[in-house]
Structure 1
């Protein structure tokens, strides 16, 4: 069961989250080609491709944790590292999910992307999505997990009232992205049909999904949003949807724009509202927590300096383990020597062949094994004095 927004910790401001679906014949090939090209161009420092089973078996190098396993449905794990402004390093993991046999284009491949920087994320930094995925219309990696919704394009709301409400509800409850609904006061021309997300800075562009309501949908969209989410849609305006229905602390007026001109010019007021909303703390999606834990606890792509630090830590770890084993051996040896001494004293120094006082000869012959003799002798020694 998903955690409620009030009980979930907020997403750290150093983290970039993304989740979607790739529709195509080979999602991993598209990722691999893009990473190879960016590494050759010097855009990223390096990348690594791992089989999920291989990653989970790295117990000698990385702490094993339940969250370190990408799960039985994971297909591949990709890691990449690159630098941004002022020498800040970004580390990111992309995991593709789905059965190996499931390569039917109509079903797609689910992917999860988590990136973390060494300081709070800035919107003008490169988008982690286009580090792994090519920023090209030829590769359909940008489908939302909510059916019928995509990034990088305009999504028109369904005509049917029930479907419209269902889509808005699913986007708010299931999606990891920021969702914006824009009402077209009149049918726009070619310039106005361009997505407003194209005006956003790179680090924010692939975190926002744009929905459009046609001119005749003004009343039905406004009514559905008020009923499902508690926010209204002004005629010819736009609104940034809350993270969850009736989310506490959400101020609809703060994220509502009364007028948006869809004429190809930059909608500055709406862009400010989107950036303002994206910077507010948001609850961590329940299924994003293990992905962030994998990034932090199961990282494999080490720099030479990190490998040296890790090697030194492993030497210290093995030295302590060897020291503990040696100490245990010494304790066992001391215990054995004490037991032999006690046995010699109890048997009169004849190595356990004698019969202690009070033991019948028949019983002595019956229990003549050295182990039983030792156990019996130590039992005599433990008897309190009377």
Structure 2
């Protein structure tokens, strides 16, 4: 099971979400006819078929999108969006995902959004739309008998548990049930839970095999009881005890203890799968089926948003302008300051050697009678004789 969902937020309690697979031809026509019938009967206010997103890869068939809105309980507005995507490979068909959001927390007694997009009973319901999205052979509105082979049973439960949009219920039959007991428990569930639960049924002799198959998931089913498979991803503090029912009576009576466990399970604030979060964001961001008042409110919100963005841009521009002016002023002031005069460099004076300096000092002194110095020539007198010294 996945452990990489610690950063995912839990979906609000006002959201109802489910996913399945349609195995018949032209599922979009089935949805259109069902929506048209509900609009004519007053079950929904309106529906629309918005265009596919423009970023669909060229090689892929664009999905079909349907929107519908109604008032649950006559007063609470519900917006719902169904997306049909062709499934590549096996099992074949069209995978559908349905997300509905109400103005207040979801009431399990409200009509199931699935039955407003898909036919529920009657001549138009051929049972093509209630298949498990990824595991072949599993159905939402039927009892799904577990395989006789233990390894195949283990593989099926493991693959089913990975589909986080679904609630997987494993029921063990204490004894072989009668005709009433072989009916699915889903028919006894409130509408808000009915099309989100996949019921796996183990025969009386399969108790040991089913608990061996459930060992990897960390749960086990009591004899004659039921257990809900842990969510994928499971919260860190997940406790499986409230989701383990000791006895389930397959006699057509309301399974009160099982209903309590289911209500507790679906109310868990567990991290939502990425594709479920993306589907809710798509419903909120790309919704097209608006009333005139909603369109007016949206335009007002857009005008207010653009005004805030323009104000922020203007303020940012003024701040940049002010900073640029201050930078230019600082640059001009720097250019006006004269450069400091550099000290003049004097030629280097060669310091005489000590012996040479001493010699020059003695040359300036005149000592008479010093040997080695010539006497000065006598000066001539006027009469030609030498003047006595």
TM-score range, shorter chain: 0.7 to 0.9
Correspondence 1:4-15 to 2 at 5 A: 4-15=4-15
Q: Shift of the alpha carbon at 1:3?
A: 6.5
Query: What's the secondary structure of 1:82's corresponding residue?
Result: strand
Correspondence 1:261-340 to 2 at 5 A: 261-312=249-300
CA distance in 2, matches of 1:311, 1:245: 39
**TM-score in terms of structure 1 length:** 0.73
Q: Shift of the alpha carbon at 1:268?
A: 1.6
Query: What's the secondary structure of 1:296's corresponding residue?
Result: helix
Q: How many residues align?
A: 314
Q: Which runs of 5+ in 2 are unaligned?
A: 315-334, 339-389
CA distance in 1, matches of 2:15, 2:309: 36
Q: Shift of the alpha carbon at 1:13?
A: 0.9
CA distance in 2, matches of 1:85, 1:300: 23
Q: Deviations over 1:217-273 (max 9, x none)?
A: 111101221x21111111111111110377533323211111112122222211221
Is 1:97 the counterpart of 2:85? The answer is: yes
Q: Which runs of 5+ in 1 are unaligned?
A: 57-68, 328-383
Partner of 2:368: none
Question: Is the 1:3–1:286 Cα contact (8 Å) retained in structure 2?
Answer: no
Q: Shift of the alpha carbon at 1:51?
A: 2.5
Relative to 1, partners in 2 of residues 1:310 and 1:92: Cα closer, same or farther, differing over 3 Å? same
Partner of 1:154: 143
Question: Is the 1:24–1:140 Cα contact (8 Å) retained in structure 2?
Answer: yes
Q: Shift of the alpha carbon at 1:70?
A: 6.9
Q: Deviations over 1:105-155 (max 9, x none)?
A: 961101111111111111111111111111134141011122221101111
Is 1:140 the counterpart of 2:125? The answer is: no
Name whichever structure is richer in helix by fraction: 1
Q: Shift of the alpha carbon at 1:36?
A: 0.3
Is 1:26 the counterpart of 2:35? The answer is: no
Relative to 1, partners in 2 of residues 1:245 and 1:298: Cα closer, same or farther, differing over 3 Å? closer
Relative to 1, partners in 2 of residues 1:93 and 1:186: Cα closer, same or farther, differing over 3 Å? same
Partner of 2:358: none
Partner of 1:204: 193
Task: Work out which of the two has the higher radius of gyration on C-alpha atoms and give 1 or 2.
Answer: 2
Match of 2:247 among 253, 256, 259: 259
Relative to 1, partners in 2 of residues 1:109 and 1:269: Cα closer, same or farther, differing over 3 Å? same
Calculate the aligned-residue CA RMSD, in Å. Answer: 3.0
Q: Shift of the alpha carbon at 1:5?
A: 4.0
Query: What's the secondary structure of 2:20's corresponding residue?
Result: strand
**TM-score in terms of structure 2 length:** 0.73
Query: What's the secondary structure of 2:129's corresponding residue?
Result: strand
